[in-house]
Amino acid sequence: MPAIDTRQIGKNMIGAASGVFKDQWPDIQDYAESEFRKLADSLTMVVDGVAAGKITAKGAKALINIHKNSAKTVMLTVEGMGLLLVEAAINAAIKVVRDAINTAAGLVIL
């Protein structure tokens, strides 16, 4: 069985993991920014509605609470997508180790 180059495997693991982050993180960031911008614009409409006397104080409070719930839901999505990213990065690194061991062994053992 040929020797396993652990230094190279370490480098490959970092490369595989960082590749996942580099490719997908900007999409998550763009998503969050775009959704928060929509909510901010929408809240401006609520303020305008209250100023124009079209929305009551009680109605405005409920509308603001709905906007808060939406913002929290977006944050949970960002958290989940971040976790999925970490998961993909760890699994990419694990695959590097698995492939190295299988290659060194000359057969699929892991």
Partner 1 sequence: MDRLFYKKHHSCLAMLLCVLLSACSEITLVGQYDEVIDQGVTRLHRETTAFLLDMEYKAGTPEGEFIANTGFYIGALSDIASLKLRASNTPQNNLTSQQLQLLEDSIRELMVLHEAQEDLGLIEAITRPLQTAMDVQFGAILKLEIAKKRGIE
Helix (H, G, I), strand (E, B) or coil at 53: coil
DSSP 2: P
Q: Which of 79, 103, 105, 108 binds partner 1 (CB under 8 A)?
A: 79
Which positions from 83 to 102 touch partner 1 by CB under 8 A, shown as an x/- string?
xx-xxx-xx--x--xx--x-
Cα 35 to Cα 47: distance, rounded to the nearest angstrom: 19
Name residue, tokens 């998503």: 31
In angstroms, the first-to-last Cα distance of the chain is 15
**Residue ranges in 34-73 that form contacts with partner 1 under rule CB under 8 A:** 35, 38-39, 41-43, 45-46, 48-49, 52, 54-56, 58-59, 62-63, 65-67, 69-70, 72-73
22 binds partner 1 (CB under 8 A): no
Cα 45 to Cα 40: distance, rounded to the nearest angstrom: 9
21 binds partner 1 (CB under 8 A): no
User: Under a CB-based contact definition with an 8 Å cutoff, are residues 13 and 97 in contact?
Assistant: yes
Please give the residue ranges that form the binding site for partner 1 (CB under 8 A).
Answer: 31, 35, 38-39, 41-43, 45-46, 48-49, 52, 54-56, 58-59, 62-63, 65-67, 69-70, 72-74, 76-77, 79-81, 83-84, 86-88, 90-91, 94, 97-98, 101, 110
